[in-house]
Structure 1
Amino acid sequence: MQHKLKRYEKLADEIAALIRSGVLAPGARVPSVRLACNTYAVSPATVFKAYYLLEDRGLIQARERSGYYVREHAQSSLAEPRMSQHQTTAQEVGVSELVFSVLGSLKDPHTVPFGSAFPSADLFPLGRLAKSMGQGLRRLSPRQVIADQTDGNAELKRQIALRYTLGGVMLPMEELVITTGALEALNLCLQAVTVPGDLVAIEAPAFYASLQVLERLKLKAVEIPVHPRDGIDLEHLQRCLEQLPIKACWFMSSFHNPLGASLAPARKQRLSDLLHQHQIPLIEDDVYAELYYGNQPPRPLKSYDSEGLFMHCGSFSKSLAPGYRVGWVAGGRFANKLMQLKLMTTISPSVPAQVAIADYLQHGGYDRHLRKLRHSLEAQQQAMLAGAARYFPAATRVTRPSGGYFLWFEFPEQVDALRLFNEALAQGISLAPGPIFSATRGFGHCIRLNHGHPWGAESEQAMQQLGRLLAAF
């Protein structure tokens, strides 16, 4: 069931939205308890509980005998990154060697995990999931053990379909294909609508795994610039669709990796109209959808699709169960082909993992967990932004996503991200250099940092050390 917000949680979210939008600026006084009571028609106890929650989220702080104030780092003083350059050509993709060399060096558990692709495992209810696995397996019949391998666990599919419904998307269960994580779902989607040599529109910068998939399937990338706040450049996409024989699009419309950008609803509608006009299938990578900071979840592009042209891919790896490798795709008109492709390759993700997640979604308090997770990620984002403002060069530019756990940094042109990566790694700090997010190895002076791990002295010292390394360029 969807977790119903308590009044103090709603009040905290409303004030947090004022802070994120800049209405309440850093250093500004938050409404007094008396004023908040009168304005929002709530009790003093409700206001205090809301303010305590905002303190825990790192957004406000109390000053003795003075009231509550927006923390100075609740908005960064650093400028926003610029949008990447336009290109209207198809690119052969060959980034795997670079990506593997970077990712291979991030495995040392003693490094500060700013380069990681996952939040901290400490933020997830792994003990409760283990209990759910035991309970679910005890109820599992021998027949289900076999059936769930091909069709997917029926209760898991029901729970996923229910979450779509709560988000305003009516989805038949038959459209859902359970996969081994979202990456398999995304792979299957591309295979369903392309053949080697086809052109696929992707974002620039792009999630590096999308580049690796295109490389493996011998597809060519058409890079579409992404604005760091507003998302994909729709005008440039339209020109590319008119000039090039693009066969599919692979986009992230909410909390884009690595930028964190999100398309506003009107822009999502426009993108949907554009793709339907040209009859171009969309592969929607939406693995961060549950990690929004406000009280309104983003609508997926899937919700704008009335023709079954969009394939919506999700996963529990970033929101609940890293390592369980359970994802899915709402396949639209392509669902049967996706199922056939899956049965020709992996057949099924782990049945016990499916059962565990299904039981947790029913009984484990998923929405309560998500609210706690979102608050932790937002507080950690504020801490990283504060560290960047303190230690990084003044010319640094950084994104301010309203969800997820990545920040994208753009430095002056003389900064070499790959050199910075190697120097930081020698100091025990990992990061993700910009070139791994581009088919053309662009973004050579940009990096992605992960704020999905609890913030402490080690994190603060790592930001300070990165600042020293940047100052040497």
Structure 2
Amino acid sequence: MGKEFLYTEIANGIASQIKNGILKAGDKLPSVRMLCHEHRISMNTAKRVFLELESQSLIESKPQSGYFVSPFFSIKLPLPDVSRPSLIANNDEPDELISKVYENMGKKGLTIFSISIPSGDLLPQAKLKKEIVNATRELKEGGTEYEELQGNLKLRRMIALRSLPWGGNFNENDLVTTNGGMNALSFCLMALGKPGDTIAIESPCYPGILQLANGLGLKVLELPTHPTTGIEIEALKKMIPEINICLLIPNYNSPLGSCMPDENKKEVVKLLAENKIPLIEDDVYGDLYFGPSRPKCCKSFDKEGNVLYCSSISKTLAPGYRVGWIAPGKYKDKILKLKLLHSTSSISLVNEAVANFLKTGKYEKHLQQLRRTLQSNYQNYVQTIAESFPEGTKTGRPQGGLSLWVEFDKKIDTRILYDLAIKQNISIAPGRMFTLQDQFENCMRLCIGLPWSEVTQTKLRQIGSLAKMI
């Protein structure tokens, strides 16, 4: 029996005991040494067993004490409802609300649950500064020259290398760098659409996508979306004759946190290709998985170059660096023309620094720690919500990403809750921001990318107390 199979088999056995109630919350597990003795395995294999169980939120380690069954496993608030938007294209943009929420970005003294990025305290700022300094030494003219149109070659090679585990199988010539993820999506929509075309998206959907689509004169068709598995494919099939473009965030969608199963991704790619409808895939959250492995992407199943894959480091490493990329498939020439017209070049110095950060392995080490922190945060948020929020509150169950979707009783309007919370120096993202229709007024998105502390917990409890007042 191979070592890979052995540690998985042992972990699955313990997981089964936890899920079946044989091992209960708070029960202590055998020590690493005991596990070695019982199963005749090495210390490294035993440690991998515990890491696997931790990644599934089934156990937690306590310094100097050992491993225990996690109390969070038994906390399961009801799931939010499947969204049921009108299947008529709508462009009623909540512009004023979006502006009100996003103007808080960067403000001091606020606890910002509303912006879906990791806190600077969770990012390797000192290491990134060193890479910037090194890049000025390595680049010709210290990084003051334009780089080639397609983007930094070293960066594209590292991105291509990182695509192999999930089936992207890119090479450097498949990729075009951009100034962040939204710049990538903007290029794709400009390349594919014209005013009056209809774009299909998830509902709820990231506000920036709604604003971008509206700004380009596109009609937005919101699709029914399940809080854990993403869009309902039958609804997509029904609306195929009306659709010109489809844009999805299949992995840990913001704001729901949903992740489409592989079979759904494969079916969507096939369906859209057969109907000659291009798919723009936004995968900025894919590296933030809580489980043992990264999920596949729609691009993994793309055989015809019909999927334009977009991603960035804005949600994982450095939001302010504005480093993104596209694997545009058969639309590469159109994307390059748009990049030449709109930006000419990406930022040489920053792209070189990020490329080196990826090449040295520092990025993967950072991601490992960030994923553990976000998973722990999610558990802490749900426990606090269960204790402090109004009865009947529902929450998503993301398996990765930065978003936690919260659904209250219909009587609670989160726009009112926002106004109450901001007076307490707390910013939330009301659900109405994430749609062009009159829905989600009783919902909100919370970012789980803040460092967990007594202050964070207190602010969450305050949100619950304010919600009870409405």
1:368-425 per-residue CA deviation (whole Å, 9 max, x = no partner) reads 1111110011111111111011101220000111101211001000000100011011
Distance in 1 between the 2:453 and 2:45 partners? 30
Percent of aligned pairs sharing the same letter:
34
**Equivalent residues of 2:390, 2:464 under 8 A apart:** yes
1:281-302 per-residue CA deviation (whole Å, 9 max, x = no partner) reads 0010100011001121111100
* 2:331 alignment partner in structure 1: 334
* 1:130 alignment partner in structure 2: 129
* 1:226 alignment partner in structure 2: 225
* 1:190 alignment partner in structure 2: 189
Distance in 2 between the 1:306 and 1:52 partners? 35
* 1:430 alignment partner in structure 2: 427
Q: What SS does the corresponding residue of 2:376 show, helix, strand or coil?
A: helix
Q: Using the TM superposition, give the Cα deviation of residue 220 of structure 1 relative to its aligned residue in structure 2, in angstroms.
A: 0.6
Moved more, 197-206 or 269-278: 269-278
Q: 1:133 to 1:38 in 2, by over 3 A?
A: same
* 1:319 alignment partner in structure 2: 316
Q: 1:143 to 1:123 in 2, by over 3 A?
A: closer
* 1:304 alignment partner in structure 2: 301
Aligned residues: 464
Distance in 2 between the 1:450 and 1:110 partners? 17
Distance in 2 between the 1:345 and 1:297 partners? 33
Moved more, 101-110 or 339-348: 101-110
Q: Which amino acid aligns with 1:250?
A: L
Q: Using the TM superposition, give the Cα deviation of residue 166 of structure 1 relative to its aligned residue in structure 2, in angstroms.
A: 3.5
Q: 1:141 to 1:460 in 2, by over 3 A?
A: same
Unaligned 5+ runs, structure 1: 1-5
Distance in 1 between the 2:317 and 2:64 partners? 41
Distance in 2 between the 1:198 and 1:52 partners? 48
1:172-219 per-residue CA deviation (whole Å, 9 max, x = no partner) reads 322211000010000110111110111000110000100000111011
Q: Using the TM superposition, give the Cα deviation of residue 146 of structure 1 relative to its aligned residue in structure 2, in angstroms.
A: 3.8
Runs of 4+ in 1 over 4 A off after TM superposition: 10-17, 21-26, 38-41, 43-59, 61-68, 142-145
* 1:290 alignment partner in structure 2: 287
Moved more, 443-452 or 28-37: 28-37
Distance in 2 between the 1:101 and 1:208 partners? 13
Distance in 1 between the 2:263 and 2:431 partners? 29
Distance in 1 between the 2:409 and 2:120 partners? 34
Say whether residues 1:468 and 2:465 are aligned partners: yes
**Equivalent residues of 2:94, 2:433 under 8 A apart:** yes
* 1:261 alignment partner in structure 2: 258
Superposed, 1:322-401 pairs within 5 Å as 322-401=319-398
Distance in 2 between the 1:172 and 1:462 partners? 46
Distance in 2 between the 1:263 and 1:400 partners? 13
* 1:3 alignment partner in structure 2: none
Superposed, 1:152-171 pairs within 5 Å as 152-171=151-170
Q: What SS does the corresponding residue of 2:224 show, helix, strand or coil?
A: strand
Q: What SS does the corresponding residue of 2:436 show, helix, strand or coil?
A: coil
Q: Give the RMSD, CA atoms, in angstroms.
A: 3.1
Q: Which amino acid aligns with 2:418?
A: F
Q: What SS does the corresponding residue of 1:90 show, helix, strand or coil?
A: coil
Q: Which amino acid aligns with 1:29?
A: D
* 1:117 alignment partner in structure 2: 116
Q: Which amino acid aligns with 2:295?
A: P
* 2:30 alignment partner in structure 1: 32
Q: Using the TM superposition, give the Cα deviation of residue 107 of structure 1 relative to its aligned residue in structure 2, in angstroms.
A: 4.1
Q: Name the TM-score, length of structure 1 as normaliser.
A: 0.90
Q: What SS does the corresponding residue of 1:150 show, helix, strand or coil?
A: coil
Q: 1:248 to 1:22 in 2, by over 3 A?
A: farther
Q: 1:447 to 1:46 in 2, by over 3 A?
A: same
* 1:203 alignment partner in structure 2: 202
| Equivalent of residue 456 in structure 2, options 449, 459, 469 | 459
Q: 1:134 to 1:309 in 2, by over 3 A?
A: same
**Equivalent residues of 2:164, 2:170 under 8 A apart:** yes
Q: 1:247 to 1:75 in 2, by over 3 A?
A: farther
Q: 1:248 to 1:123 in 2, by over 3 A?
A: same
Q: What SS does the corresponding residue of 1:170 show, helix, strand or coil?
A: coil
Q: Name the TM-score, length of structure 2 as normaliser.
A: 0.91
Q: Using the TM superposition, give the Cα deviation of residue 97 of structure 1 relative to its aligned residue in structure 2, in angstroms.
A: 2.6
**Equivalent residues of 1:57, 1:376 under 8 A apart:** no
**Equivalent residues of 1:106, 1:430 under 8 A apart:** no
Q: Which amino acid aligns with 1:32?
A: P
Moved more, 310-319 or 114-123: 114-123
1:3-34 per-residue CA deviation (whole Å, 9 max, x = no partner) reads xxx99xx7799579949x94678616364337
Q: What SS does the corresponding residue of 1:311 show, helix, strand or coil?
A: strand
Distance in 1 between the 2:65 and 2:351 partners? 52
Distance in 2 between the 1:12 and 1:471 partners? 46
Q: Using the TM superposition, give the Cα deviation of residue 106 of structure 1 relative to its aligned residue in structure 2, in angstroms.
A: 4.7
Q: Using the TM superposition, give the Cα deviation of residue 42 of structure 1 relative to its aligned residue in structure 2, in angstroms.
A: 2.8
| Equivalent of residue 445 in structure 1, options 427, 442, 445 | 442
Distance in 2 between the 1:456 and 1:185 partners? 35
**Equivalent residues of 1:178, 1:328 under 8 A apart:** yes
**Equivalent residues of 2:199, 2:220 under 8 A apart:** yes
